[in-house]
Amino acid sequence: SSELTQDPAVSVALGQTVRITCQGDSLRSYYASWYQQKPGQAPVLVIYGKNNRPSGIPDRFSGSSSGNTASLTITGAQAEDEADYYCNSRDSSGSRFGGGTKLTVL
Amino acid sequence: EVQLVESGGGLVQPGGSLRLSCAASGFTFSSYWMSWVRQAPGKGLEWVANIKQDGSEKYYVDSVKGRFTISRDNAKNSLYLQMNSLRAEDTAVYYCARVVINVWGSYFDYWGQGTLVTVSS
C-alpha cells in the first residue's frame, strides 16, 4: 500500500514517554519526516532523516525506523507537546502524509 | 530568516479558477525544490505538488492532475499554484513549503502560514 497509517489518537501522562508510529511500504525505502501542528498554526518540522532535529526542537524528540514502520518518540512529554503529529514520506509519485495522530498530555 | 508568505486565497464557485502565490525570502530560492500542501477544514495534511529548482520537473497528487499547475519565477522569488476546475473538495488551507529532496527521503523544513481557499456556490 502507498498509504501511511497512524493511530488517530494517543495519550501520555505528563513527564512520561510516548511513541507515535507510522506504517507504510514507502518507509522501507525512505526515512520519514515528522511534523507537529498546534491548532490554528502551520506545521513545524520536528524530525527528519535517520534521526535529525532542526534547530530549536528539544532533544526530547527523537525518531527511529524499522522495516515499514517509523516512530517518533517524546521522552518526558511536556504540556506544550499536546498537538497533532503527522508523518511524511517521499514515494514514487511525490510525497505522502499520514492521517495524523492527536497527542493528549494528561 | 526564511519567510514564506502565501496570498491569493478566497471564495470561488465550483468550476472556477484561482491562482495562489507564495513570496519567498531569506534564502536562495532558486536552490530549492518547493511544494504546496493543503489541509481541508478539520482534516489532515495532504501533499499537493512539488516543483524542481529550475521548474523542469513537477509532480502532483492524483486528485489535482490536469486541473492544478505548479510554477515558479526564480527572478521574483515566487511560487505559484494555478487552480482550475475547482471542486468543493478542494476547499482547504493551502501552505507553501520549502522541501529538501535527496536519496534517503524528503522533508518540508519551512512553511508559510497558509491561505484559505473556499469553493462554494
Write the residue in A30, A49, A100 that is nearest to B44 by C-beta. Answer: A100
**A58 within 8 A of A75, measured Cβ to Cβ:** no
Residue B97 pLDDT: 98
Mutation target vs B (from A90, A96, A103; most B CBs, 10 A cutoff): A90
Q: Look-up: residue for cell 484561482?
A: B18
CA distance B17 to chain A (A): 24
Give the integer Cα–Cα distance in Å for B27 and B16: 34
The rounded mean pLDDT for chain A is 96
CB contact under 8 A, B46 and A97: yes
* A102 beta partners: A9, A84
Is pLDDT at A68 greater than 90 in this prediction? yes
Give the integer Cα–Cα distance in Å for B38 and B90: 9
Is pLDDT at B30 greater than 80 in this prediction? yes
Is pLDDT at B1 greater than 80 in this prediction? yes
Tell me the residue length of chain B: 121
Residues of A with CB under 8 A from a CB of B: 30-33, 35, 37, 42-45, 48-50, 54, 84, 86, 88-90, 93-100
List CB contacts (< 8 A) between A50 and chain B: 104
Using one digit for the tens of pLDDT, what is the confidence trace for B37-58? 999 999 999 999 999 999 999 9
What are the angstrom distances between the C-alpha of A89 and each of A30, A49, A95? 7, 10, 6
DSSP string, B12-67: E-TT--EEEEEEEESS-GGGSEEEEEEE-TTS-EEEEEEE-TTS--EEE-GGGTTT
Using one digit for the tens of pLDDT, what is the confidence trace for B59-114? 999 999 999 999 999 999 999 999 999 999 999 999 999 999 999 999 999 999 99
Using one digit for the tens of pLDDT, what is the confidence trace for A27-63? 999 999 999 999 999 999 999 999 999 999 999 999 9
Give the integer Cα–Cα distance in Å for B55 and B30: 10
Residue A77 three-state SS: coil
CB contact under 8 A, A90 and B111: no
